[in-house]
Chain A
Amino acid sequence: MLQPYATPLEKLWFYAFRLFCIGVLVFLILPLLVIVPLSFSADSFLMYPIHSFSLRWYEAFFTNSEWMDSLKNSMIVAPAATLLATVLGTVAAVGLTSADFPGKSFMMTVLISPMVVPVVIVGVGAYLFFAPLGLANSYLGLVMVHAALGVPFVVITVSATLRGFNPNLVRASASLGGNPVYTFFRVTLPLIAPGVISGGLFAFAASFDEVVVTLFLAGPEQTTLPRQMFAGIKENISPTIAAAATVLILFSIVLLLTLEWLRGRSEKMRTAASAA
């Protein structure tokens, strides 16, 4: 806040600081703003200025069988991996927050490690391990490793939500005769649903954006959208990539808005719970 009695030097500092921060924000958003208009360009090169507009690159994207197959593969692998990661991760998070048992913090460290281990190591290791089992070049192998990469997000988000959850509700349900499974589905799950869904969204994004493990583990049949983009950028970067990128940016906007909406809901729930 600039005070009315600020000295010229303070004023200069204030505006310079604000300019710097706006510069950083521009740096963050500029790449997204730049690539979207190019996808509507009629030119064959990814270059400004744009001379005329057309939808030809979207047509190229949506009619090319390679792009469409990779989109289809992503739409198979990511939801399957998300489902697996969300179910396993939520159950584990309930266990981790319900009681202290020996080795709990070590367990937490292990469950979250897929987030920090370099993906190349995961990819090469998965190939070495899965190839003799016949799971390399298969959807199943890819889904399993993608799920492993998504698990930490679910565990972190759901445990955080459970810390704001009132355990007396579980006791109340038990004292009224509800068995643990019934209590979980009818009491706990509805209340922690926003956390579970946002964990799932994180896991989905992790799988949907994953390229390195796919590079090692997937065969040509399982090429995903990021894998296809990787090949496209590496070989010749055509405006079709800009069209694909725009579709993906739209997708991330939807994900982000859903997440913000869920965050608002879970905050409301938390304030309601603490007020009650």
Chain B
Amino acid sequence: MNMTADAPLLAADGVPLAVKLKRAERRKKLRAALLVAPLAVFLLATFILPIALLLYRSVENPEVPAMLPKTVSALAGWQGQGLPDEAALGVFVQELTAAKDNKAMVGNAAKRLNMEISGYRSLLTKTVRAMPLDPAAGPLREQFVNIDERWAEADYWRVLRHQDSRYTGFYLQSSLDIKRGADDSLHMAGDDEAIYLKIFGRTLWMSAVVTLFCFLLGYPLAYWLVNLPTRKSNLLMIVVLLPFWTSVLVRVAAWIVLLQNEGLINGALMAMGFVDSPVQLAFNRIGVYIAMVHILLPFMILPVFSVMKAIPPTYMRAAVSLGSHPIPAFWKVYFPQTVAGVGAGALLVFIMSIGYYITPALLGGPDDQMVSYYVAFFTNNTVNWGMAAALGSLLLIATMALYTLYARIVGANRLSLG
């Protein structure tokens, strides 16, 4: 070797090897990123942008500013008492007259205002129909009150003044039961008006109950399956996996058949003499719990099972042979080693539960519906995109917070699929 120790190694073309390696590595990284790019772009277009649009819809407020842009800025000078001054009313008349033939625009603005004060819809359409007003016929204030007496109330003007921005916190506030008072301050709705916090609370509570039952049923079963001979446990694992692979709708239909008043469960309960008349099991909370636990149980069993499989049975034997009673040995030696699997399973079950829609919709009553139901309700029944988007956004935030926790603790790529 005639090379000195500190001279850089050169490749065949004279470039130092270290540089070439770095270049090759960079090329490899670029190629890896390019391979991921098509999927990233695809998901951006089919998944991320639609959700971003939904989030945007929860704060968007175009209806009134589009119809009455000058009125809302003219109202900014109004003191909040009595009717606005004649100049502002003049602008209002102009814009109402100009919008008269645009039924869709008036309809949207009327619908938006009606969310703030019910009855505003008819007030606005009635007023539009009365346009134009003749300023020579007397003060506009009197003419407005003549159209409808409600114009004498400051509340209607206050709501209108508040429509000065194309963005609003109204939907998100409403989703959290926050109301705007007469003095423009925000306060929590009273118990009789509060709706959505209760629904969020119910969603979290139901998810917690489902997660708990999945743990209580899934943990022992996973333990039993792990300790069975492989052939037997593989066979029984099919019993766990077959429902997992069966359509959710098939399972919901089957549970309706089982749980209905004339169903097998009630038949069995009555035959055994536990009850005299059928117990209501379907179309209430019990039915929802049973079906949800049934659907989500495999998501608990599979991660717990794979964690248990990696625990050498010798640990428990060692603890027992050292004089421990099997029960404390289980708690102190075995259980702590399975906590990771239980955490992964529980978090996954909980995350999936809070977004449930189909099962409560088909197997629950009106008081068993979760947040997703109301997102669908505002979309389909009242076409109130703002509320649908706001409830959806809050649900999404909760899900993503839990998912981030999951990705941090378990690693997103380790979501168990059995």
Contact = CB atoms under 8 A, between A and B. Distances in A.
Contacts of A127: 379
B35 A91 contact: yes
A98 B31 contact: yes
Interface in A5-38: 17-18, 20-21, 24-25, 27-32, 34-35, 38
Contact of B257 (A35, A120, A152): A35
B394 to A, nearest CB: 10
Interface in B1-36: 25, 28-36
Interface stretch (B98-106, B118-126, B352-360): B352-360
Contact of B247 (A18, A109, A226): A226
A28 B399 contact: no
A4 interface: no
A273 interface: no
Interface string A224-254: 0010011001100100011001001100110
B243 A128 contact: no
Contact of A237 (B218, B224, B242, B256): B256
Contacts of A100: 29, 32
B239 interface: yes
Interface residues of B, number: 89
Interface string A98-117: 11110001011111111111
A252 B35 contact: no
A108 B243 CA distance: 28
Q: Size range of the interface on A?
A: 35 or more
Contact of A27 (B28, B49, B53, B294): B294
Interface in B279-314: 294, 297-298
A215 B53 CA distance: 19
A180 B357 CA distance: 45
Contact of B50 (A98, A129, A208): A129
Pick the most buried of B40, B47, B236, B252: most chain A CB atoms within 10 A of its CB.
B47
Interface in A132-148: 144-145, 147-148
B318 interface: no
Interface stretch (A51-59, A61-69, A153-161): A153-161
Given A35-B250, A245-B253, A125 B417 contact: no
A253 B244 CA distance: 11
A28 B375 contact: no
Interface string B42-70: 11011111110110010000000000000
A33 B33 CA distance: 48
Given A101-B32, A241-B253, A245-B254, A230 B413 contact: no
B343 to A, nearest CB: 16
A118 B395 contact: yes
B409 interface: no
B29 A145 contact: no
B220 A122 contact: no
A47 interface: yes
A166 B320 CA distance: 42
A129 B395 contact: no
A111 B43 contact: yes
Contact of A88 (B42, B225, B354): B42
B243 to A, nearest CB: 5
A92 interface: yes
Main SS class of interface, B: helix
Contacts of A255: 245
A125 B54 contact: yes
Nearest to B354: A118
B239 A233 contact: no
Main SS class of interface, A: helix
B412 A109 contact: yes
B247 A24 contact: no
B412 A108 contact: yes
A259 to B, nearest CB: 8
Contact of B415 (A21, A88, A112): A112
A40 B86 CA distance: 78
Interface string A36-52: 00100000011110000
Contacts of B227: 1
A212 interface: yes
A220 interface: no
Contacts of A117: 47, 51, 355, 396, 399-400
A130 interface: yes
A89 interface: yes
A119 B355 contact: yes
B257 A34 contact: yes
B87 interface: no
Nearest to B327: A13
Interface of A: 1, 17-18, 20-21, 24-25, 27-32, 34-35, 38, 45-48, 84, 88-89, 91-92, 94-96, 98-101, 105, 107-130, 144-145, 147-148, 151-153, 155-157, 159-160, 180, 202, 205, 208-209, 211-212, 215-216, 226, 229-230, 233-234, 237, 241-242, 245, 248-249, 252-253, 255-256, 259-260
Interface of B: 25, 28-36, 38-40, 42-43, 45-51, 53-54, 57, 217-218, 220-221, 224-225, 227, 236, 238-243, 245-258, 262-264, 267, 294, 297-298, 351-352, 354-358, 361-362, 372, 375-376, 379, 385, 388-389, 392, 395-396, 399-400, 403-404, 406-407, 412-413, 415, 417
Given A88-B42, A99-B31, A117-B355, 11 more contacts: A88-B39, A91-B39, A92-B38, A112-B415, A117-B400, A120-B372, A124-B375, A148-B42, A229-B247, A237-B253, A245-B250
16 contacts: A29-B242, A47-B257, A88-B39, A95-B31, A96-B35, A100-B29, A101-B32, A109-B404, A121-B54, A121-B392, A121-B395, A129-B49, A151-B39, A180-B31, A226-B247, A248-B246
